């Protein structure tokens, strides 16, 4: 099985430079559909599903490999090698921002620039660091997920999405959660919410754009500012968009921020 098959890779566009778009937890590559048309003329867009999501090959899931974010980063690098990608742009939403970080540290020649949408290197408060959750919060979240995945997803997706005046967005996200393999999703949640990549941030050399939304309960403003402070070559863009998924809720603002960064 090739990485392109394993991760259901699709390539759009005809530009000279590659742009990889990596979806967040509970999502799949379809979540980028409002963003991709804006970049198809200038980039070769590489869309894929993490193993366990979308149309990825579920038989490729190996618990030991995917027990850390490194396993997912290795998949990204496999895709890059098979497509012979160098100096690409990596766009990662939520946990995929850290997956891209690890991939770019391991093989920096693959990535010229990074776009991190709602990144968080650590979700748990720790001393002076504000991650947005206490350890008890995370433990209760994981216990709820373990006991009733569908009930948990219907409760948490409106909080993740925000924009309560547009309930159709939360419905779409919940439907995406429901399409994800529940056993793999439970494991991925533990890996996501218990990871701590703060020490890895200073190792990144690529220029990076951090897109920070307003009222993001998953990755609050303090987290975005921490990531910006920890990355030597980063720009922090405070968005008017609310919630954790601006590529769905505010695609025009997201596109404008990305374009401004990519031409600078």
Question: What are the residues whose beta carbons fall under 8 Å from the beta carbon of 72, sequence distance 6 or more?
Answer: 50, 51, 66, 96, 99
Distance CA 172, CA 178 (A): 10
Question: What are the residues whose beta carbons fall under 8 Å from the beta carbon of 90, sequence distance 6 or more?
Answer: 19, 20, 22, 76, 100, 103, 104, 111, 113, 114, 115, 206
135 C-beta neighbours (distance < 10 Å), count: 13
Convert 45-65 into a string of H (helix), E (strand) and C (coil).
EEECCCCCCCCCCHHHCCCCH
DSSP 217: S
Q: 212 in helix, strand or coil?
A: strand
Closest CA to 24 of 118, 101, 140: 118
Question: What are the residues whose beta carbons fall under 8 Å from the beta carbon of 235, sequence distance 6 or more?
Answer: 207, 208, 209, 210, 228, 261
* Catalytic residue list: 94, 216, 244
């Amino acid at each position: 099985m090739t990485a392109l098959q394993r991760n259901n890779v699709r390539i759009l566009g005809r530009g000279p430079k590659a742009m990889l778009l990596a979806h967040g937890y509970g999502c799949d590559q379809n979540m980028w559909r409002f963003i991709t048309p804006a970049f198809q003329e200038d980039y070769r867009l590489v869309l894929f599903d993490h193993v366990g999501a979308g149309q990825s090959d579920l038989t490729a899931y190996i618990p030991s490999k995917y027990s850390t974010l490194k396993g997912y980063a290795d998949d990204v690098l496999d895709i890059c090698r098979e497509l012979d990608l160098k100096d690409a742009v990596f766009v990662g939403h939520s946990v995929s921002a850290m997956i891209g970080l690890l991939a770019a540290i391991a093989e920096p020649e693959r990535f010229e620039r990074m776009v991190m949408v709602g990144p968080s290197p650590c979700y748990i408060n720790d001393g002076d660091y504000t991650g947005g959750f206490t350890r008890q919060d995370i433990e209760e979240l994981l216990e709820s997920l373990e006991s009733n995945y569908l009930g948990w997803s219907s409760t948490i997706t409106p909080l993740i999405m925000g924009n309560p005046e547009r309930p159709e967005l939360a419905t779409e996200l919940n439907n995406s959660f429901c399409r994800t393999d529940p056993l793999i999703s439970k494991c991925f949640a533990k890996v996501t919410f218990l990871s701590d990549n703060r020490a890895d941030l200073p190792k990144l050399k690529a220029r990076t754009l951090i897109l920070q939304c307003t009222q993001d309960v998953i990755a609050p403003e303090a987290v975005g500012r921490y990531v910006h402070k920890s990355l030597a070559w980063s720009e922090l863009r405070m968005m008017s968009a609310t919630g954790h998924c601006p590529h769905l809720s505010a695609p025009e603002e997201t596109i404008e921020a990305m374009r401004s960064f990519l031409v600078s």
